Structure 1
Amino acid sequence: MNGRLRTAAAALALGLALALALLLLPLAGAPPATAAGHPAVTSSAAGEPAVTLSTAQAGTGASLTVSGSGWRPRTLLMLLMCGRASPARGVIGGTNSCANADGRAVTTDGDGRFTRALPVAEPPVPCPCVVHVATATGTRTQADVVFEVAGHAVEPLPAASSTGRLALLTDTRLDGSSGLLTWFGAPPARTLVVTVGNLGTTPVKDPVFQVGTAHGVFAPQWDEQQWRGTIAPGGKARVKLPVELSAGAHGDYTVSLKYGGKVLAEQPWGVGRPWGVTLFWILLCLVVPAAVFRIGMAVVDRVRPRTRHGRRAPRRHPLDGDGDEDPSRVPAGTSASLPWFTPDSGPATAGGRLSAPHDDHPTSPRLPAGREPSE
Structure 2
Amino acid sequence: MPSVVRLPYVSVPVLLGLLLVLAGAGSVGAVDRPVVELSKSQAGTGGTVTVSGSGWRPRALLTLLVCGQAEPRRGVTGGTNSCANADGRAVTTGADGRFRRELPVVEPPVPCPCVVHVATVTGATAGPPREADAALRVAGHTVEPLPAEAAGGRLSLLADTRLHGSGGLLTWFGSPPARTLVVTVGNVGTSPVQNPVFQVGTAHGVYAPEWQDQRWRGTIRPGGKARIELPVELGAGAHGDYTVSLKYGGKVLAEHPWGVDRPWGVTLFWALVLLVVPAALVRGVLAVIDHARPRRPGHAARPARRLPLPAPRRPSATPWFAPDGDPGGETGT
TM-score by length of 2: 0.76
8 A contact 2:46–2:104 mirrored in 1? yes
Please state if 1:290 is matched with 2:275.
no
Residue 167 of structure 1: aligned partner: 156
Map Cα deviations across residues 193-222 of structure 1 (whole Å, 9 max, x no partner).
111111122222332222111222322222
Aligned residue type for 1:102: D
- Partner Cα separation in structure 2 for residue 120 and residue 265 of structure 1: 31
Please state if 1:67 is matched with 2:44.
no
Specify whether residues 300 and 46 from structure 1 end up closer, same or farther in structure 2 by C-alpha distance, changes over 3 A only: closer
Residue 115 of structure 1: aligned partner: 100
Residue 251 of structure 1: aligned partner: 240
Map Cα deviations across residues 315-372 of structure 1 (whole Å, 9 max, x no partner).
x6xxxxx626764499999xxxxxxxxxxxxxxxxxxxxxxxxxxxxxxxxxxxxxxx
Structure 1 residue 232: Cα displacement: 2.0
* 2:226 maps to which of 227, 232, 237: 237
Specify whether residues 324 and 115 from structure 1 end up closer, same or farther in structure 2 by C-alpha distance, changes over 3 A only: same
Structure 1 residue 237: Cα displacement: 1.5
- Any residues of structure 2 matched to 1:135-174 within 5 Å, and which? 135-136=120-121, 137-162=126-151, 164-174=153-163
- Partner Cα separation in structure 1 for residue 250 and residue 98 of structure 2: 26
* 2:197 maps to which of 194, 204, 208: 208
* 1:184 maps to which of 154, 173, 176: 173
- Partner Cα separation in structure 1 for residue 300 and residue 213 of structure 2: 86
- Any residues of structure 2 matched to 1:312-327 within 5 Å, and which? 313=295, 323=298, 327=302
Structure 1 residue 239: Cα displacement: 1.2
- Partner Cα separation in structure 1 for residue 66 and residue 202 of structure 2: 21
Specify whether residues 148 and 108 from structure 1 end up closer, same or farther in structure 2 by C-alpha distance, changes over 3 A only: same
* 2:260 maps to which of 271, 276, 279: 271
Residue 12 of structure 2: aligned partner: none
* 2:117 maps to which of 117, 132, 150: 132
Which shifted more, 94-103 or 210-219?
210-219
8 A contact 2:31–2:55 mirrored in 1? no
* 1:193 maps to which of 178, 182, 193: 182
- Partner Cα separation in structure 2 for residue 63 and residue 130 of structure 1: 14
* 2:72 maps to which of 60, 71, 87: 87
Structure 1 residue 96: Cα displacement: 0.7
- Partner Cα separation in structure 1 for residue 222 and residue 306 of structure 2: 115
Structure 1 residue 89: Cα displacement: 0.9
What secondary structure, in the 3-state scheme, does the structure 1 residue paired with 2:176 have?
coil
- Partner Cα separation in structure 2 for residue 169 and residue 281 of structure 1: 46
- Partner Cα separation in structure 1 for residue 304 and residue 193 of structure 2: 105
8 A contact 2:37–2:53 mirrored in 1? yes
8 A contact 1:198–1:204 mirrored in 2? yes
Map Cα deviations across residues 212-260 of structure 1 (whole Å, 9 max, x no partner).
1122232222222222232222111211111111111122211111122
- Partner Cα separation in structure 1 for residue 298 and residue 48 of structure 2: 89
Structure 1 residue 54: Cα displacement: 1.4
- Partner Cα separation in structure 2 for residue 61 and residue 216 of structure 1: 32
Aligned residue type for 1:251: G
TM-score by length of 1: 0.68
8 A contact 2:91–2:101 mirrored in 1? yes
Which shifted more, 239-248 or 217-226?
217-226
Identity %: 71
Unpaired runs of 5+ in structure 1?
1-44, 306-312, 317-321, 334-375
- Partner Cα separation in structure 2 for residue 324 and residue 282 of structure 1: 41
8 A contact 2:38–2:51 mirrored in 1? yes
8 A contact 2:31–2:54 mirrored in 1? no
- Partner Cα separation in structure 2 for residue 275 and residue 64 of structure 1: 49
CA RMSD of the aligned region, Å? 2.3
Which of the pair has the greater relative contact order for Cα pairs under 8 Å at 6+ separation? 2
Residue 101 of structure 1: aligned partner: 86
* 2:206 maps to which of 212, 217, 220: 217
8 A contact 2:111–2:142 mirrored in 1? yes
Aligned residue type for 1:257: L
8 A contact 1:184–1:276 mirrored in 2? yes
